[in-house]
Structure 1
Amino acid sequence: MFPRSIGRTFKKIFSDISPNTDQEFIKKYQISRQRTTIAVKFLLLLIIVPLLTHQLSKRIFILPLVEKMRTENSHLIFLNQEMEKEAFHELKIFRAELKFKSLLDSEWKNSPENVESKIKEKAIELAAKFRDKSANAISNIFADIIALITFALVIVFSAKDIISLQHFVDQIVYGLSDSAKAFLIILSTDVFVGFHSPHGWEIILEGFAEHLGLPASRNYIFMFIATFPVILDTIVKYWIFRYLSRLSPSALATLKEMND
């Protein structure tokens, strides 16, 4: 006989004037605070534990073991040709600096023997530098694997904490206004799949390749940039069309207005 909204309104009024309202509010607040505390601790755990595992495993046993193995093979200095080219370039610049100083300063004179001695010292210094760089890159590979295994174990043994974290994230997302949701969607899509995103992806991939001691092949990098952001953009558009229109139609309308 009556609309459901009227029933919900009366139900809310009766719950507000109930003598147990304060106790129920305090109980809900305590539960919400407890969930938030668990979620924040679990989020910090997901970040800190893999990082500590990576650094400790690398410094304690992986890096010393790699350095010992590479010391036995002292002729192995470079992991790839890019490291070798970088070392040769630095040595070439050092040789040019010596010649430049000798041309500018008439009092600065060196015999060819002294020049060759300084160049040899620089070459030994560069060899030690790139030998350490190569050992560090090899250690990063094994330390990253151990950190990923640790991350997976933390997730496997923390099922209840994952539920609290999901509730915490949902509470933050649903608590945002429609304008804030649209702003975050536009910001994230422009950063990762926007017009200027290829430069960022290029820097990230080059840094990742250097971290693992891999050659930063321009062809593979450009191939990745030409495919992955496009796939990511398609997934985002499908998510907006499929789910955002159902979860928050007003946010979708705000997003369209901001894009226009």
Structure 2
Amino acid sequence: MKYWNLKKINQLTLDKTGVIPRSISKIFEKFKKELNPNAEVEAIEEFKIARYQTVTSIKYIIFLLIMPILVNQVSKSFIIGPLIDYVWNKNEHSIFINESQEERAFAELERFEEKLHFDILIGKLDNPSSNTINSKISNKALELAIKYTVESSNAIKNILADLFSITVFISIVIINKRQFSILKSFINELIYGLSDTAKAFLIILFTDMFVGFHSPHGWEIIIEAILRHFGLPESREFIFIFISTFPVILDTIFKYWIFRYLNRISPSAVATYHNMNE
């Protein structure tokens, strides 16, 4: 029964692109169904299949998202975390694992010293002795050392925990191939079943967000967060090269998809997109 459902779902949702646009072919299919004497029975069957497809896809998406996150947090808290902390505390390690951390720590310490001298000049601190000033600076340096030591160890934990999560994610996709096929069919039907205006709106939203004129700032924040998450040096050259190449490649792929597939399946949506984008 489940195999028949999957076969029926694929027949309904994964229609091959033909010469006739899909919007026109749907009109002929609608008339054909209305003239069919078994239209009511087939409609009930299609409703059951659509419900099965929707429920299965939602369950699979939830499972696909929750399991890697759960494995990540559990392994990081109870397996990887204690092990890294034990090794890190047992052996002497450098506070910083890359130059970017050093630069950020020194900049924070420098700002603290400047703020401290500023408070003295404006009278917020009443003539503190040099020993008091040195003590405050030493305490701040120790605080930064602890902060970046934790950040360095967390970077190693993140790498190992994320590897566990990726392994679990790939394993779920490989083991549950049938659910993954149903999910692809559900997404295809959901996307291509949208109205022309909704398709054009999503296209403009996606392109403006990821390949628009203001997207470099967002990409810069994302790349810096990813590099800091894995404890990698925040190379400005790498970030600028990525920003200058990846959005262009992404924009080219997206335009090819519009020209190659969407233009044949739903030409009216492409026309609406060009009208809204002008």
TM-score (norm 1): 0.88
Q: Kindly, what percent of the aligned residue pairs are identical?
A: 46
Partners of 2:147 and 2:253 lie apart in 1 by: 44
Distance 1:13 1:204, change over 3 A: same
* Total equivalences in the alignment: 252
Matched, 1:77 2:85: no
Name the structure 2 match of 1:139: 157
Structure 1 stretches of at least 4 aligned residues deviating more than 4 Å after TM superposition? 5-11
CA distance in 1, matches of 2:217, 2:170: 31
Match of 1:159 among 138, 156, 177: 177
Distance in 2, Cα, partners of 1:88 & 1:178 = 54
Contact 2:119–2:125, Cα closer than 8 Å, also in 1: no
CA distance in 2, matches of 1:9, 1:81: 68
Change (3 A) 1:80 1:8: closer
Report the equivalent of 1:122. 140
Structure 2 residue aligned with 1:212: 230
- Residue of structure 2 aligned with 1:51, choices 69, 77, 88: 69
Please identify, of 33-42 and 118-127, the stretch whose mean Cα deviation from structure 2 is larger: 118-127
User: Which residue does the alignment assign to 1:197?
Assistant: 215
The RMSD of aligned alpha carbons is 2.3
Change (3 A) 1:84 1:8: closer
Please name the residue that 1:30 is paired with. Answer: 48
In structure 1, what is the equivalent of residue 35 of structure 2?
13
Q: CA deviation at 1:83?
A: 1.0
Deviations 1:118-154 (A, max 9, x none): 2222221111111001111111111111111111001
Asked if structure 2 preserves the Cα contact closer than 8 Å seen for 1:70 and 1:76, the reply is no
Aligned to 1:175: 193
| 8 A Cα contact 1:101 1:108, kept in partner | no
* 3-state SS in 2 of match to 1:76: coil
Q: What amino acid sits opposite 1:148 in the alignment? A: I
Larger radius of gyration, structure 1 or 2? 1
Offset of 1:169 from its aligned partner?
1.1
Structure 1 residues 9 and 180: alpha-carbon distance in aligned structure 2, compared to 1, 3 A threshold: closer
By relative contact order (CA 8 Å, sep 6+), the higher-ranking structure is 2
Give unpaired runs (5+ residues) of structure 1: none
Q: Deviations over 1:209-236 (max 9, x none)?
A: 1111111111111111111111111111
Amino acid at match of 1:112: S
Residue 24 of structure 1 and its aligned partner are, at CA, apart by: 4.6
Q: How far, CA to CA, are the matches of 1:28 and 1:123 in structure 2?
A: 68
C-alpha distance in 2 between matches for 1:41 and 1:131? 40
Q: Report if the CA contact (8 A) 1:58-1:139 is conserved.
A: yes
- Report the counterpart of residue 239 of structure 2 in structure 1: 221
- Secondary structure of 1:188's counterpart equals helix
Q: 2:249 aligns with which of 215, 231, 248?
A: 231
- Determine which of 77, 98, 120 is the counterpart of 2:116: 98
CA distance in 1, matches of 2:28, 2:107: 79
Change (3 A) 1:108 1:199: same
